[in-house]
Amino acid sequence: FSPGLLLVAGSFAAFRLLNRGLERLVPPPPSARRNRWKWRNIWTSLAHSVLSGGGALAGFCLHPGLSEDLVGTHPPGAHSLVAVSVGYFLEDFVDMLCNQKLHQSWELLFHHSVVIICFGVAVLLHQYVGFALVALLVEINSIFLHLRQILLMANLVHTTCYRLNSIINLGTYVVFRIATLAWMTRWLFLNRENVPPATYAVGTVGMAIMTPMNIILFYRLLRSDFFK
């Protein structure tokens, strides 16, 4: 096994253990006790978002020149961060598959499949790690998406905290999700001659799937939190 695959396996096991122990660390409120696995799942996802989103942002802040070469070079730890994220997405895929009905989770399962394939290519080839790091900037917004779910489950919708989180969630959605995906699509288009056909096909299909999914989610957030 390559070190990258060992990291993926270790990350999978670590997030699995975290998921199992979270109910003791963060006991669910009465309103969430009927869906305990979901409570644990969201907190596990929040932990990953803080780790990966914060790590990706730190990487670009500490290494501003990284964006000039997203294929062959990357700062120390970037490859490890992408491998850890693959482990998390595998764990979350298994968790949803075991605990949620398919018609309720198919969108996220599909999303995770695309991410696992794209990030897996970066981990195995030790290339496009910088590109994967750009994709992890999306997780900065995911922090507030997961906080929103936690507040909903805790029945704290009519609070200042929820309202403030909704505003930050929408702002980070535009900056770190929609703008990031648009930048990645533009990068793929401009560098199509320098990217092998198979890798270009994987990236293009990934962007073609992610972009409409995120636009639909943005519409749902607007409708739910601002235009009821």
Question: What is the tens place of the pLDDT at every residue in 99-126?
Answer: 988 888 888 898 899 899 989 989 998 8
Its pTM stands at 0.91
At residue 161, the pLDDT reads 94
Indicate whether 191 pLDDT > 90: no
Total number of domains constituting the chain: 1
Residues 210-221 have a mean pLDDT of 89
Contact between residue 222 and residue 170 where contact means Cβ atoms under 8 Å apart? yes
At residue 228, the pLDDT reads 67
Q: What percent of the chain has pLDDT over 70?
A: 99
At residue 65, the pLDDT reads 77
140-172 confidence digits (pLDDT tens): 999 999 999 999 999 999 899 999 999 999 999
pLDDT band at 68 (very low <50, low <70, confident <90, very high): confident
Mean pLDDT over the full length of the chain: 91
Find the largest Cα–Cα distance for the chain: 56
* Domain that includes residue 203, residue range: 3-226
- Residue 13: phi and psi, rounded to 5, are -65, -40
Residues 56-78 have a mean pLDDT of 85
Indicate whether 1 pLDDT > 70: no
Indicate whether 66 pLDDT > 90: no
Q: What percent of the chain has pLDDT over 90?
A: 56
At residue 123, the pLDDT reads 92
At residue 146, the pLDDT reads 96
